[in-house]
Amino acid sequence: MVTTRTSGRGAADGAPVPDRLLAVATRLFAAQGFERTSVQEIVDAAGVTKGAMYHYFSSKDDLIREIYRRLLGLQTRSLERIADGPGTAAQRLREATADVVVSTLAHLDDGVVLMHSLHLLAPHIRAQVRAERRRYHERFRALVAEGQREGSVRADISPDLATHHFFGAVHHLGTWYRSDGALRPRQIGEGLAEMFLNGIAVQRP
Partner DNA sequence: GTCACATTACCGACTGGTAGTTCGGTGCGT
Partner DNA sequence: ACGCACCGAACTACCAGTCGGTAATGTGAC
- Which residues share a beta bridge with 153? 201
Residues in the chain: 205
Q: Is 90:201 a contact under the CB 8 Å cutoff?
A: yes
Q: Does 164 bind its own copies (CB under 8 A)?
A: yes
69 or 165: CB nearest its own copies: 165
Site stretch for DNA (CB under 7 A), options 7-15, 64-72, 96-104, 189-197: 7-15
Least distance between DNA and beta carbon 56 (Å): 7
Q: Using CB under 8 A, which residues numbered 71 to 130 contact its own copies?
A: 112, 115-116, 119-120
d(C-alpha 53, C-alpha 100), whole Å: 32
* 59 contributes a contact to DNA by CB under 7 A: yes
Phi-psi region of 149 (alpha: psi -120 to 50; beta: other; left: phi over 0): alpha
Please name which of 52, 42, 60 lies closest in space to residue 125, comparing C-alpha atoms. Answer: 60
Q: With contacts defined by CB under 8 A, how many residues of the chain interact with its own copies?
A: 40
Report in angstroms the alpha-carbon separations of 47 from 43, 50, 63, 168.
6, 10, 17, 37
- Helix or strand run (H / E) with residue 65: helix 60-83
Instruction: Give 33 or 47: the residue with its C-beta nearer to its own copies.
Output: 33
Q: Least Å distance between CB 39 and DNA?
A: 4
Q: Which residues of the chain form contacts with DNA (CB under 7 A)?
A: 3, 5, 7-10, 17, 35, 37-40, 48-52, 54-56, 59-61
Q: Which residues of the chain form contacts with its own copies (CB under 8 A)?
A: 32-36, 112, 115-116, 119-120, 157-158, 161-162, 164-165, 167-173, 175-176, 183, 188, 191-192, 194-201, 203-205
